[in-house]
Amino acid sequence: MKPKNNKLKTKVVIIGGGPSGLLLSQILTKENVENIILESRSRDYVLNRIRAGVIEHGSMELLLESGVGNRLLSEGSKHSGFLISSENNEFRIDLNLASGKSVYVYGQTEITLDLYKALDQSGTEIFHEVKNISINDIRTKNPQVNFETSEKVYQISCDYVAGCDGSKGISKNFIPKEKLSFQEKNYPYKWLGILSKSKPVHKELIYANHERGFALASMRNENLSRYYLQTNNNEDISAWPDERIWDELKKRLPSKFSSNIQMGNSVEKSITPLRSIVVEPMQWERLFLAGDAAHIMPPTGAKGLNLAFSDIYYLSNSLIDFYRTGSTSTLEKYSERALSRVWQTVRFSHWMTNLLHTTDEKKSVERQFQLLELQELSINLAAKKALAESYVGTPY
């Protein structure tokens, strides 16, 4: 039987039902800007994705302003600093140096859950497990978004389309290739991550530079730890049983803390390649890109989700300004404003990645420069302040 065609109308179609798409919907809905969300995965799949959990000061404020930040404040863990170690010596970066700001540790999964609860309360329409999405007439005043579910074919008439569908999403494919520029850098190592039902090794994050490779000790809550190890690009996850990971972490983390590691069972284990990609521009006609659809970067410094939220800040303000005033001047500057912060953040992520990761050449000139920079950072207050300011997030 041929699927029935269903015609809908809204102001903004949001492609992608992850945290960035959901947050954009929440902010627009609070301002009475109608929107519809399209998500290729099921709700359960989206809610069970394991992602980063360090939330910048600006992201926290944005979530609070949008009405979904109260649980973050009550259940999240406020962090006013973190540790960096070089070999077996550690020093602390005090985030209070950044005008008294701080970060929160609160899982992306929890943010997504909070946003879904708000979505359910508002009644905003979301379609899950959609396929064959196409964006048409994007150069006209009435773009059309077509898609299918298991039983129906839909057509949505709208004013604007927001592509919040991640690095593998389809939104950017509807911008002419000659209009897009991809700036890419691939790093010569990967991150092996393990999520463990165990008490964190320390109350604050530890970024460890070691001749064997980088390590990170993080957490999701007081009973759930997250660890990462630098591996080479040819590494296979099957070669890393839990016992080997714990043994390597004990070698790379400062002995002061590694002796406290609780070796719990792994809940999730993965290997992630490290790369930076920036797509320019982030808008074309009535289509806008946000989040991983427009940029990705190494997870060093936990900037991915936070940068997506800053995109949403600029995009939501631009759309709200249009529906309040009828002027498109702010919308036309979205890409320029968003990319300014994108490049600052990508640069910081690149710097921090290079500072903390080691190459195979243990006695190379680059390694000596790296150790000298870490030593200088450990004693230079101005350098610590600059790092703290970048870590809590560049102001919007």
Kindly list the catalytic residues.
Answer: 79, 207, 299, 303, 391
Q: Which of 305, 396, 297 is nearest to 110 (CA)?
A: 305
With tokens 């043994």, the residue in question is: 247
- Measure the CA–CA gap between 135 and 16, rounded to whole angstroms: 14
| Helix H or strand E segment including 78 | strand 77-79
Asked whether the CA dihedral 203, 206, 212, 214 is positive or negative, the reply is positive
Counting beta carbons within 10 angstroms of the beta carbon of residue 141, is it exposed (0 to 12), middle (13 to 18) or buried (19 or more)? exposed
Contact 20, 62 (CB under 8 A): no
**Cα 346 off chain centre by:** 12
**What is the CB neighbour count within 10 angstroms for residue 94?**
13
- Measure the CA–CA gap between 2 and 342, rounded to whole angstroms: 45
